[in-house]
């Protein structure tokens, strides 16, 4: 399986990721991508920026493990994950998860599975900057619920 995981400050090109996955194999029949963007509103409060930090090395290990778990559940051809860190503003890409498989059900499920576990297990933290100053975000219960539903 093709696997590429990147944690970086720089912006990224979804088109380039897409191209790499397409070209991974002629057996690719389905590519599902998820992109998370900085919204200008969160819980009805205006957001002017985000600051993202992570636990270097541990983050990448957690992501590899999440992808390995996904590939044990579904036959995957390629996975690419890019997560940004540092300062971001509304409209910026935060994360991209792209999954290539033979069939669409596998691509959709694996992409959502990876995102749900990334949200609850990968060591990233967001600080939100708004009109009222800065605050560290806390995990939403809905994110834990989303990850839990994959458990047997």
Partner 1 sequence: MIKVVFFASLRERFGSSGFAVENNQVESVAGLVKLLELPDGTSFNSIFAQEKLMVAVNQEVVDGDCLITEGDEVAFFPPVTGG
Binding of partner 1 at residue 138 (CB under 8 A)?
A: yes
**Paired tokens of 62:** 């957690």
Distance, CA of 25 to CA of 82 (rounded, Å): 21
In this complex, which beta carbon is closest to partner 1, that of residue 19 or of residue 104? 104
Distance, CA of 49 to CA of 116 (rounded, Å): 23
Distance, CA of 115 to CA of 34 (rounded, Å): 8
Residue from the set 28, 49, 126, 130 that interacts with partner 1 by CB under 8 A: 126
Provide the 10 A C-beta neighbour count for residue 124. 20
For the chain, give the number of residues. Answer: 152
Whole-number minimum distance, CB 36 to its own copies, in Å? Answer: 6
Binding of its own copies at residue 14 (CB under 8 A)?
A: yes
Provide the 10 A C-beta neighbour count for residue 107. 24
Tell me which of partner 1, its own copies, none is bound by residue 108, counting a contact when its beta carbon lies within the kind-specific cut-off of 5 to 8 angstroms.
its own copies
* Inter-residue contact 150 to 116 (CB < 8 Å): yes
Tell me which of partner 1, its own copies, none is bound by residue 52, counting a contact when its beta carbon lies within the kind-specific cut-off of 5 to 8 angstroms.
partner 1
Binding of partner 1 at residue 58 (CB under 8 A)?
A: yes
Binding of its own copies at residue 105 (CB under 8 A)?
A: yes
Distance, CA of 147 to CA of 113 (rounded, Å): 7
What is the binding site for its own copies (CB under 8 A)?
13-15, 18, 22, 26-41, 90-91, 102, 104-105, 107-108, 111-112, 115, 142, 146
What is the binding site for partner 1 (CB under 8 A)?
36, 52-55, 57-58, 61, 83, 94-95, 104, 115, 118-127, 136-139
């Amino acid at each position: 399986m093709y696997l590429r995981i990147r944690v970086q400050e720089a912006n990224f090109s979804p088109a380039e990721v897409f191209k790499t996955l397409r070209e991974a194999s002629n057996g690719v029949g389905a590519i599902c991508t998820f992109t998370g963007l900085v919204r200008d509103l969160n819980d009805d409060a205006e957001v002017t920026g985000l600051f993202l930090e992570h636990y270097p090395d541990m983050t990448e290990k957690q992501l590899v493990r999440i992808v390995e778990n996904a590939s044990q559940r579904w036959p995957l051809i390629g996975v690419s994950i890019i997560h940004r860190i540092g300062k971001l503003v509304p409209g910026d890409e935060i994360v991209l998860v792209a999954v290539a498989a033979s069939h669409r059900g596998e691509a959709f499920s694996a992409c959502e599975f990876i995102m749900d576990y990334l949200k609850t297990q990968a060591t990233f933290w967001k600080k939100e900057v708004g009109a009222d100053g800065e605050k560290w975000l806390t995990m939403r219960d809905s994110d834990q619920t989303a990850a839990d539903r994959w458990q047997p």
